[in-house]
A and B are shown apart, each in its own frame.
Chain A
Amino acid sequence: GAVVSQHPSRVICKSGTSVKIECRSLDFQATTMFWYRQFPKKSLMLMATSNEGSKATYEQGVEKDKFLINHASLTLSTLTVTSAHPEDSSFYICSAPSARGYTFGSGTRLTVV
């Protein structure tokens, strides 16, 4: 139980386009979703916290207009990287609190060319 399905696992996009990453809680309700980013050889950094039905809370230094987060239902949260640039290339992971603790998606490797 307590599975978070994250898609896509890998995506390559052209500079200037937008990319949407989805995280779905398959067998539990995720009222909160944490979105992380990981740079090579660096720690996972919390970008924002989304709560179902309300605006996301962004960490300092994270551009809310660039990283659009929507948490429209108890089972779906999305992160859209708008007008992507090569420096947005990174590994993005979502996580939701569950009865087992924190349940993580498998991550999305974004490459912007």
Chain B
Amino acid sequence: GNSVTQMEGPVTLSEEAFLTINCTYTATGYPSLFWYVQYPGEGLQLLLKATKADDKGSNKGFEATYRKETTSFHLEKGSVQVSDSAVYFCALKSNYQLIWGAGTKLIIKP
């Protein structure tokens, strides 16, 4: 069946460090891929998405590229800020359902 695997957290970085959160998926067909973010005390928000192979989603300095050959959708940011501290979820859309990764907590220290 469809599944999403993302790196286990927490991930702790210093401000201005480079961020990578790995996400790989298993799916039939060609799903759409998403990254969602949940800031403390808030609901999940769509961060970025990609709908087909080689698409790059980007938002707020974050990027992720849909890699069909490696079935991956890794999240990257060149220089993180304290305000990026949150939980990040990778997900794929299969039919009407979102299939989720377990979430990765990101902690950025000043």
* Residues of A that sit less than 8 Å from B by CB: 4, 6, 9, 34, 36, 38, 41-46, 49, 93, 95, 100-107
Contact = CB atoms under 8 A, between A and B. Distances in A.
B102 A43 contact: yes
Contact of B43 (A34, A44, A101, A106): A106
A95 B44 contact: yes
Interface residues of B, number: 20
Interface of B: 4, 8, 36, 38, 41-46, 49, 89, 96-103
Q: Is the interface of A mostly helix, strand, loop or mixed?
A: strand
Contacts of A9: 41
Contacts, number: 45
Q: Is the interface of B mostly helix, strand, loop or mixed?
A: strand
B46 A100 contact: yes
Contacts of B97: 46
Contacts of B45: 104
B100 A44 contact: yes
A46 B36 CA distance: 16
Give the most central of A34, A38, A43, A95: most B CB within 10 Å: A43
A70 B97 CA distance: 20
A95 B36 CA distance: 13
Given A41-B102, A42-B102, A93 B44 contact: yes
